[in-house]
Amino acid sequence: MPEILEIVGMSDKAAKYPRQLSGGEQQKICLARALVRRPTIVIADEPTGNLDPNATWEIIQLLLKINSMGTTVILATHNKDIVDKLNRRVIALDCGRVIRDHMKGRYAI
């Protein structure tokens, strides 16, 4: 779907093979695949792992864009810098158990 490639900023790469794309571009294509069916929730498990800082923030900006379009985005990351800069709800897990639920200055649990 061309409009999905437009959303993720990859229209110009439509004819490329995966090996011809950078790691960040491959992640954008993964997000595009997830968006094709117009989900209400996207779960992104370490979508910025192994990406350079610029590609990392491009992916984060894309996830924010997806969220602003009405899709709930659940982001799993170990990158504290991302967590700190997003200023969104953070649920911390330890061995599969919630140990902290923090949302804009309020703590629960």
Every domain of the chain and the residues it spans: 2-78
Q: What's the first-to-final CA gap in the chain, in angstroms?
A: 43
Is the pTM here over 0.75, yes or no? yes
Residues 38, 55: Cα–Cα separation, whole Å? 24
Q: Is the pLDDT of residue 47 over 70?
A: yes
pLDDT digits (tens, 9 = 90+) for 72-81: 999 999 998 9
φ and ψ at residue 94, rounded to 5 degrees: -140, 115
Would you say domain 2-78 falls under CATH 3.40.30.10? no
